[in-house]
Amino acid sequence: MGYLHRSFALLILWSLLLAGPSPVGAGQPGPATHDIMIRVDGASCPFCAFGLEKRLGRIEGVTGVRIEMKEGKAIVTVKKGATVSKHALRQAIEEAGFTPREIIAPPEVFSKDAAP
């Protein structure tokens, strides 16, 4: 295995180990986070997933990102009480070079922004 492949494999391993499960608040009845599911066109390789994960992870309030390439979706975890702009999500995906499609999450997760 070449140097690049070993480096990438280590990067993926560290990402998986550090991501861990979503935290649950102590003594609270529900999760301390909310998940946003975004359909994404064009993310078909691990390098694509890494770039997309980095862009989405920079958005304020985002605590984690998981890319499911086979399903063509990104799962963005947001801390409870935080809001995220749909526009910011779409922009991050486009800046990473992909096409955002359907965005699904509880309504309270989304901030009131001008872009639908």
| Confidence at residue 109, expressed as pLDDT on a 0 to 100 scale | 87
Instruction: Count how many Cα atoms sit within 13 Å of the Cα of residue 43 in the half-sphere of its side chain.
Output: 28
Start-to-end CA distance of the chain, whole Å, equals: 46
Q: What is the mean pLDDT of the segment spanning 88-110?
A: 92
Average pLDDT over residues 9-20: 53
| CA–CA separation, 48 and 36 (whole Å) | 19
Question: pLDDT (tens digit, 9 = 90+) per residue, 38-59?
Answer: 999 987 788 878 889 999 999 9
Of the pLDDT bands very low, low, confident and very high (cuts 50, 70, 90), residue 26 is: very low
pLDDT of residue 24: 41
pLDDT digits (tens, 9 = 90+) for 54-93: 999 999 999 999 999 889 999 999 988 889 999 999 999 9
CATH class of 32-116: alpha beta
Domain boundaries, the chain: 32-116
Q: What is the pLDDT of residue 4?
A: 52
Mean pLDDT of 85-112: 91
